[in-house]
Amino acid sequence: MTIFRLIAASAVLSSVLCSGQPTYSKEVSRIFQAKCQQCHRDNDIAPFALKDYDTAVAWSLDISRVVDAGIMPPWKPKPGYGEFRDNFALSADERQTIVDWVAAGAPQGDAADMPDPLPDTGDWVLGDPDLVLAMPQSFTPARGKDVYRCFVLPGSFDTTQYASAFDLVPGARSIVHHVLLFADSKGQAEKLEGQDGQPGYDCFGGPGIDIGLNSVLAGWAPGQRPHLLPDGIGVELPKGARVVMQVHYYPIGRTAPDLTKVGVYLSKKDIQQRLFNVPLLNDKFKIPANAQGFEVNYTLPIIPLLEGKVISVYPHMHLLGTEIRVDVTDAKQNTNPMIYIDKWDFNYQGPYTLAEPLVVKSGSTVKVTCKYDNSDANPRNPNNPIVPVGWGERTTDEMCLAFLGVTLDYEKFLPLHKVNPSR
């Protein structure tokens, strides 16, 4: 019987090779490396690490289903409305290759065709950071409600530094909803730290410090991947400032101790322009109960001081959101789309870096438009019975928000920001 099985297996392999049927070794493994393994790796957000043939076969039917339905990979921007770096959306050919491979029985193919494995970067996708800032001790949020907690991270900067990227590694991925980083140059957060006898301090509604144009350093949400800024652009870390980390916990079904850490990648070259994270937000709205397609927007006029370039865009809504877009309209009323997500998914969000910076001139406007479904037809609606919903920090509230990572043209005429050579 063994000989007959070998003959049969050989015949199947020969048929596969002759028919041009895709195999794991030659085609599928390369697609998984390029488009899937950034999340499907050890100790990350995905439920399994998609790094070998046996795992791929075990999950092959599920992979085919979610790939064919366009659920995975979760690349949300609609094609034709902005171009972005590191686009991990599948092409039509790549999607069909995976579906055909599974339909053919998920053949392995010739092991000699396998690509070299991607390097194991451990916790840090960009390699070891220049600086790691971590919570001094773990914090366990109370179960059953949204918790916003701020932590003053140890250490300050002897001189002004500039960061090229931030990465965050949550200690309890199942309950960390999102994170924002702020620079506190006045020591306000330290006075709030630990007042209730627990690590950090309650910061529902804001970090409790004065917020200026360069106070917001970075943000993180599950599935997000860090990117280095272009040479000559950096996020300012002021001399003497402390980094304040605001964590939104959502421990509804369960809780766990969290010890989140931040990796800081410092710029190695002198900085010509700083990156500012500018919010576009409307916090004065109420979505009526049972409303479908309800629209909220906010428009920012660009004055001469705000002329510059948009480097990245970070859209944000909650569970009722269905669509979000950001557009730039110039003085001649020509509209240039920056991003459009027509199938919003609260579970997959983060910043998108434009393939080419978008120039924004004086006299133009930048507009964010959000749409919501506050009816029982929305399976994600958290309210039963259905109630009106407005702006708020809770997951069951809503937001209409987009952070724009921008450089301002006037800074090109200022002296260079010198990077500490010791770094």
Q: Are 217 and 183 in contact (CB under 8 A)?
A: yes
Close Cβ partners of 39 (under 8 Å, ≥ 6 residues apart): 45, 46, 73, 223
Grouping H, G, I as helix, E, B as strand and the rest as coil, residue 297 is strand
- How confident is the model over 316-326, as a mean pLDDT? 96
Kindly state the DSSP code that residue 206 receives in the 8-state scheme: S
Q: What angle do CA 281, 75, 172 make, to 5 degrees?
A: 75
Q: pLDDT at position 4, please?
A: 34
Using the predicted structure, report yes or no on whether residue 211 has a pLDDT greater than 90.
no
Give the CA-trace dihedral at 139, 143, 148, 153, to 10 degrees: 10
Q: Are 222 and 346 in contact (CB under 8 A)?
A: no
In total, the chain counts a number of residues equal to 423
H or E element in which residue 18 lies: helix 2-19
Higher local confidence (pLDDT), 154 or 15 = 154
Using the predicted structure, report yes or no on whether residue 217 has a pLDDT greater than 60.
yes
Q: pLDDT at position 415, please?
A: 77
pLDDT tens readout for residues 388-402? 999 998 889 999 999
Q: Are 218 and 264 in contact (CB under 8 A)?
A: no
- How confident is the model over 379-384, as a mean pLDDT? 95
Model pTM score? 0.84
Q: Are 85 and 353 in contact (CB under 8 A)?
A: yes
Q: Which two tokens stand for residue 199?
A: 């690590």
Q: pLDDT at position 2, please?
A: 40
> How far apart are alpha carbons 391 and 281 in whole angstroms?
10
Residue 19 pLDDT grade (very low, low, confident, very high; cuts 50, 70, 90):
low
405 DSSP β-pair partners? 277, 312
pLDDT tens readout for residues 236-260? 999 999 999 999 998 988 999 999 9
pLDDT tens readout for residues 29-44? 999 999 998 888 887 7
Phi, then psi, of 307 in degrees rounded to 5: -60, 140
Higher local confidence (pLDDT), 189 or 423 = 189
25: left (phi over 0), alpha (psi -120 to 50) or beta: alpha
Higher local confidence (pLDDT), 205 or 181 = 181
Q: Which two tokens stand for residue 243?
A: 């980094």
Q: pLDDT at position 15, please?
A: 42
Grouping H, G, I as helix, E, B as strand and the rest as coil, residue 397 is coil
Close Cβ partners of 222 (under 8 Å, ≥ 6 residues apart): 45, 173, 176, 177, 178, 347, 348
39 alpha carbon, distance to own chain's centre: 11
Using the predicted structure, report yes or no on whether residue 14 has a pLDDT greater than 70.
no
114: left (phi over 0), alpha (psi -120 to 50) or beta: beta
Q: pLDDT at position 83, please?
A: 93
Q: pLDDT at position 8, please?
A: 37
- How confident is the model over 185-210, as a mean pLDDT? 93
Residue 165 pLDDT grade (very low, low, confident, very high; cuts 50, 70, 90):
very high
pLDDT tens readout for residues 335-347? 999 999 999 998 8
Q: pLDDT at position 378, please?
A: 97
Residue 421 pLDDT grade (very low, low, confident, very high; cuts 50, 70, 90):
low
Percent of the chain that is helix, strand, coil (3-state, to 5): 15, 35, 50
- Which of 276, 236, 265 lies closest to 417, judged by CA? 236
Residue 155 pLDDT grade (very low, low, confident, very high; cuts 50, 70, 90):
confident
Average pLDDT of the residues of the chain: 90
Using the predicted structure, report yes or no on whether residue 284 has a pLDDT greater than 70.
yes
Using the predicted structure, report yes or no on whether residue 17 has a pLDDT greater than 70.
no
Name the amino acid, one letter, at 11: A
pLDDT tens readout for residues 106-125? 999 999 999 999 888 778 98
Q: pLDDT at position 420, please?
A: 62
> How far apart are alpha carbons 415 and 423 in whole angstroms?
20
Q: Which two tokens stand for residue 202?
A: 């309650």
Q: Are 37 and 117 in contact (CB under 8 A)?
A: no
Q: pLDDT at position 20, please?
A: 75
Close Cβ partners of 314 (under 8 Å, ≥ 6 residues apart): 219, 277, 349, 350, 351, 352, 402, 403, 404, 405
